[in-house]
Chains A and B, each alone.
Chain A
Amino acid sequence: MNETKAPEAPRKLGATAPRTRLSKLFDNRWAGLAGLLIALLAPFVNASDYALSIMTSAAIFAMLASGLNIVVGYTGLLDLGYAAFFAVGAYTSGVLATRFELPLLVTVPAVIVVTVIAGIIIGAPTLRLRSDYLAIVTLGFGEIIRITANNLPVTGGPSGIYGIPSLTDSPVTFYYVTVVIVAIAIIGASRLGRSRLGRAMRFVREDEDAAEATGVHTYRVKLAAYIAGAVWGGLAGVLFAGHLSAISPNSFTFLQSALVLMAVVLGGMGSVPGVVLGAIVISLLPELLRGVADYRYFIFGVLLIIVMLVRPQGLWPARSKEALK
């Protein structure tokens, strides 16, 4: 364990442990504002189409990670098929927008409804399973969604859907719209975590029996976590469809699910600033490594292994130490 990490205030006995300036700086709110500021100012540094596209993808990826964090980080349910909800959102939005020529924004209510249903369909029968079995079922579900999209006429088969209208005309505005939506989603996920339901999710993660004994209906809480994760993933899918204007089954492979999970684990399970940081590292690192061409993913993999060896708890682990109000 690395003891030099900044975010933790020194442990002191008694309820009046003074909080250092450093721990205040790393208070989630300030970190969130700083992150938002960086995201808003980034186009002033580099606003090439390429850079904007990468940054938009990174923001969408951060939203995915914050959604999966509700399932994996808060509730402790291992989900290996998270890209399925991403796909359900992107396809629902893409099909509605191209078939009925609807603006992307109008498809959002339908996406929410469809992803909630998808969450219930997958969650209701499987959440009775123990965590390792659940992982296998979610893995299978992820593949089923991708293969279904690959074979249905309405989803355009292997070539997918193209010509999806964007939310805005210019990539710069789309980037800003994405940042605002993603920021709201991240704040939402964080607030959910600090609520009655979010606490119940953590009780389930820590000890299901003890949670039941205190009156937490663990099955309902797990289902709620699953549905929340599905909605977050689905809405990220809408942004994804609008960003690329074309989607195909290739965007929703197991690798995508694994990468989101990697962002959550790398950043620190259960920690909102952590998973956002993890998502940004996972999505930007391969781009920064373009210089080494063929060795890109080799170095990417080695770096991930090194990070997990040095900081197994994640880059920015969740703190359970409470600040006094």
Chain B
Amino acid sequence: MTLLEVRELRLAFGGLVAIDGLSFSVGEAEIVSVIGPNGAGKTSAFNCVTGFYRPTGGTIAFDGKSLLGKRPSAVAAAGISRTFQNLRLFGELSVLDNVRAGSHLRLKQSVFDALLHTPRYRRTERECTAEANHWLDFVGLRGDRCSEARNLPYGEQRRVEIARALAREPRLLLLDEPAAGLNHAEKTEMLDLIRRIRDLGIAIVLIEHDMGLVMQVSERIVVLNFGKEIADGRPEEVRRDPAVIEAYLGSDTHA
């Protein structure tokens, strides 16, 4: 069953066309990677889906409902979470508070509960903390949860960002280069984490430059070049695709 359906997506900044007729779909609990050289329009596509950019053409539907024109918080409410290419944690807030952000939409707590410290205030705060701890356990965070997020090492901050996105309890998670800047051991753990997230029944769209990771984890790969889709298929198909080799893999001997 199709969860996310992107059709003929177009995005132009003035005369510059960033995305030119991109179509792809993501099924439930499927792991799809979006790859392509720098500037191919991968992150722009993420920003269109999550409501940060307004596409100039095409349709985006999630679970059968259009996402076009929705603000990012409404997209999040619909069940899509994301992480950012350059970590976007709330640096001066505690690690727990960062993950509590994910519970924001589900937390039934009014201003009066907060001002009067009603039993509901205490209960919702307890639940919110418990959820945050649960997701931090899930991503395997090492380090102090009570101190400022910016004090954690880089790899741990990545985990916190994913925990924050998971606390939203999304049906679709968009990961923008989750392995960037991680060392080899951390990458292996990231691979395992992505699989465990999928096992929760959450679909994942992954932008990643690390081809080893992409080939191992993806069920399907969409390849972009200059805003256009040049391939869409299973990893072994994409790997042999001449257009892909020419545009992307051929220029990168590490692949």
Contact = CB atoms under 8 A, between A and B. Distances in A.
Q: A and B, one complex?
A: yes
Interface of A: 11-15, 17, 188, 191-192, 194-200, 202-203, 206-207, 209-218, 224, 320-325
A319 B109 CA distance: 24
Contact of B72 (A12, A198, A213, A322): A213
A213 B100 contact: no
Contacts of B145: 15, 322
A188 B113 CA distance: 11
A191 B117 contact: yes
A12 B115 contact: no
B50 interface: yes
A226 B40 CA distance: 41
Given A192-B115, A198-B114, A203 B90 contact: yes
Contact of A214 (B51, B117, B165): B165
Given A213-B76, A214-B168, A320-B93, A195 B100 contact: no
Contacts of A210: 84, 88-90, 101
A153 to B, nearest CB: 37
Interface stretch (B12-20, B146-154, B189-197, B235-243): B146-154
A107 to B, nearest CB: 22
Contacts of B146: 15, 17, 321-324
A197 B76 contact: no
B178 to A, nearest CB: 15
A199 B104 contact: yes
B164 A214 contact: yes
Contacts of A206: 89-93
Contacts of B72: 209, 212-213
A235 to B, nearest CB: 14
Nearest to A184: B115
A195 B102 contact: no
A320 B94 contact: yes
Contacts of A188: 115
Nearest to B78: A215
Nearest to B99: A214
Given A13-B143, A195-B121, A224-B111, 8 more contacts: A11-B144, A197-B114, A206-B90, A206-B91, A207-B89, A212-B51, A212-B76, A217-B71
Contact of B97 (A202, A216, A324): A202
Given A195-B121, A207-B88, A320-B94, A216 B73 contact: yes
B96 interface: yes
A213 B96 contact: no
Contacts of B128: 196
Interface string B167-195: 11000000000000000000000000000
A320 B76 contact: no
A99 B172 CA distance: 61
A216 B74 CA distance: 9
Contacts of B100: 199
Given A15-B146, A188-B115, A320 B165 contact: no
A221 to B, nearest CB: 10
Contacts of A323: 146
Closest 5 CB pairs of A and B: A195-B114, A206-B90, A215-B76, A212-B72, A210-B88
Interface-central residue, B51, B102, B104, B145, by most chain A CB under 10 Å: B104
Interface in B79-128: 81-82, 84, 88-94, 96-97, 100-102, 104-105, 107, 109, 111, 113-115, 117, 121, 124, 128
Given A15-B144, A321-B146, A209 B104 contact: no
B147 A321 contact: yes
A321 B143 contact: no
B226 interface: no
Interface centre among B51, B81, B109, B111 (most CB of A within 10 A): B111
A12 B74 CA distance: 38
Nearest to B50: A213
18 contacts: A11-B147, A13-B143, A192-B114, A196-B128, A199-B97, A199-B101, A200-B104, A209-B84, A211-B90, A211-B101, A212-B73, A214-B101, A215-B104, A215-B105, A320-B97, A321-B146, A321-B147, A322-B96
A15 B136 CA distance: 13
B248 interface: no
A214 B104 contact: yes
Contacts of B144: 11-15, 17
Contacts of B114: 191-192, 194-198
